[in-house]
A and B are shown apart, each in its own frame.
Chain A
Amino acid sequence: MSAVIHEAHDDGHHDGPPAGFKRWLYSTNHKDIGTMYLIFALVMLFLGGAMAMLIRVELFMPGLQIVEPDFYNNLVTDHALIMVFGLVMPAAAGMANWMIPMMIGAPDMALPRMNNMSFWLLPAAAILLVSSMAVQFIPGTGVPVNTGWTLYPPLSVQTGLGMDLLIFSVHLLGISSIMASINIVTTILNMRAPGMPLMKMPLFVWAWLFTGLLLIIIMPVLAGGVTMLLFDRHFGTSFFDAAGGGDPVLFQHLFWFFGHPEVYVLLLPSIGVLGLVIPTFSRKPLFGYKPLVFFMGFLFALGLVVWAHHQYTIGMSLGATTYFMIGTILISIPVGLMIFNFIFTMWRGSMTFETPMLFAIAIILMFSFAGVTGVMLAVVPADLQYHDTYFVVAHFHYALIPGAVFGLYAGVFYWLPKWTGHMYNETHGKIFFWWTTLSFNLTFFPQHFSGLAGMPRRIVDYNIQYIEFNQISSIGGILFGLSHLLFLYIIIKTVKGGEKATDKPWEGAQIGTPGLEWTLPSPPPFHSFTTPPQIK
């Protein structure tokens, strides 16, 4: 890094990106890799969204309409995996790549070549995932992956070739996100500009520090679990086979040891975005920055030890059940306090309601709702009733769509001017906000009722009594899906042109935070900081 100081000046004009596909394929540039992550996520959003719409069309009426039961369950499985691993995690990683080096005043990510590899494993994983779905159309490949994203044995040991491809896909996804996390954590720990102690970092950076550490701890366990599945399927082991001395419930523990912290992986980056968007548009410093960091740490630690609330119905000992129940209910304390911190940030601020802020406020309202249904689900006797019904589906869509996806949309609108150098059209942004928010609620609110009335999840058919709720849901779902065409249009239009964005397009962007990213031009030069920035 330091050996060639004067040489480098001579060809300073070559400093831009190389032309053509090499710029992308060989990229070690955090912004280019960030862009690729974001584009990948957008593609996956449409793929996973198309599956969701197919599911909702099928559920418009009871009985079988357009898909076979196994294919339906395959859709449910792949929809979830694509949204979790294809949309939310890559989009959050894309934002981390773009913003973290700029926010902490680093020249690039700590390990730029590994960064390249983390990204390029993703398209490979996506191809495997899509082929795992496609092989069912080849005769003789067995039953498609119809287990749901939780991949529980013994069903997952009995399904066909698709499961093997899916397991390999999960391996690649795991390797990719472990490498990305190592890179992000290393960058945050080692690459901060002088004068940027940890406790000065923007909340988004803190959020990603915890996310990265969580991923490093949980992804290997998922990888281990699915590898054991693979062994049980092909190599005669019986990790999860009771007949051979194994136990299918062990897989559930392994899966949820990953699965529960994973929901914080999806949530935290968006909380980080809120921690920037809300002060910006309230024109007040974040209320309680230190406590917020602490709450995130609390969430990180507690999140690792409450996983079995997904398995209350398997017959654990009373002691274990009680422990997991209390632990889970405790989690709502830091979550609730975070929400209060955001509300107090807005309190008496001079607020304006640009698209990112609209999303932020809606997130607070809708995500709190998920917190409430979460506490209901945490209570064991209640959960025995709610488990595996649409109530759970409603709960986690209220948690994940506002908590993760809308947070990312807020981030997209917040940073689009920085990324592209153009302002997006505020009217279009607002239309998109209202369209998605209303149709989201139309889709998922009724599912609370069908769930409480007992409608089971992951089943293609349903009893006639649930028809109204499902039809409302389906209409909402189609509208929700279609709103994303507007999203795509806004993005393409902003990339191509529009009003020029200033370095700091948002008046309040630097309030209470170093805001180094706003000292750079919009869009930033190919290499952000060639000398370490000054922090005031």
Chain B
Amino acid sequence: MKDNEQLDIEAKKDMSAANIWTAIVLITIAIIVGMMPFFYLKDMVVPG
């Protein structure tokens, strides 16, 4: 089988780098929102 990367696709241009950058931007957003509750609530991280 051929990987998608090896296909003879005459796409208008190679988007691999753009794809990875888009993914990095999006995952950064995800990580930031995911961390937010922890920072907001950091005062509660004390043994109960």
Contacts and interface: CB of A to CB of B under 8 A. Distances in A.
A427 interface: no
A418 to B, nearest CB: 21
Contacts of A108: 4
Nearest to A175: B30
B36 A15 contact: no
Contact of A239 (B15, B18, B19, B44): B44
A189 interface: yes
Interface in B1-48: 1-12, 14-16, 18-20, 22-23, 26-27, 29-31, 33-38, 41, 43-48
A217 B12 contact: no
Interface stretch (A4-12, A70-78, A409-417, A501-509): A4-12
A291 interface: no
Contact of A216 (B26, B45, B47): B26
Interface in A228-252: 228, 231-232, 236-239, 241, 243-247, 250
B48 A237 contact: yes
Given A5-B8, A8-B6, A186-B26, A221 B16 contact: no
A314 interface: no
B36 A527 contact: no
A190 B19 contact: yes
A365 B2 CA distance: 47
A175 B35 CA distance: 14
A109 B21 CA distance: 15
A242 B41 CA distance: 13
Given A1-B11, A245-B43, A221 B22 contact: no
Contact of B36 (A17, A28, A221): A221
B22 A532 contact: no
B33 A217 contact: yes
A530 B4 contact: no
B11 A107 contact: yes
A239 B41 contact: yes
A14 B36 contact: no
A190 B22 contact: yes
Contacts of A17: 1
Contacts of B16: 1
A217 B32 CA distance: 9
A108 B4 CA distance: 7
A529 B29 CA distance: 32
Chain B contact surface mostly: helix
Contacts of A236: 47-48
B19 to A, nearest CB: 4
Contact of B9 (A183, A185, A232, A530): A530
Interface in A186-221: 186, 189-191, 193-194, 216-221
Interface in A96-120: 107-108, 110-112, 114
Contacts of B36: 221, 224
Interface string A1-45: 110111111010011111000000000110000000000000000
A1 B14 contact: yes
A527 B7 contact: yes
A174 B37 CA distance: 16
Contacts of B11: 1-2, 107, 532
Interface of A: 1-2, 4-9, 11, 14-18, 28-29, 107-108, 110-112, 114, 178, 181-183, 185-186, 189-191, 193-194, 216-221, 223-225, 228, 231-232, 236-239, 241, 243-247, 250, 254, 527, 529-532
What 10 A-B pairs have minimum CB-CB distances, sorted nearest first?
A: A244-B48, A220-B34, A238-B48, A8-B8, A110-B19, A246-B44, A186-B22, A18-B1, A236-B47, A224-B37
6 contacts: A1-B4, A6-B8, A8-B8, A178-B30, A181-B26, A244-B47
Given A219-B30, A221-B34, A223-B34, 15 more contacts: A2-B10, A7-B6, A28-B4, A111-B23, A181-B26, A182-B22, A186-B22, A221-B36, A225-B37, A239-B44, A239-B45, A243-B48, A244-B46, A245-B48, A254-B37
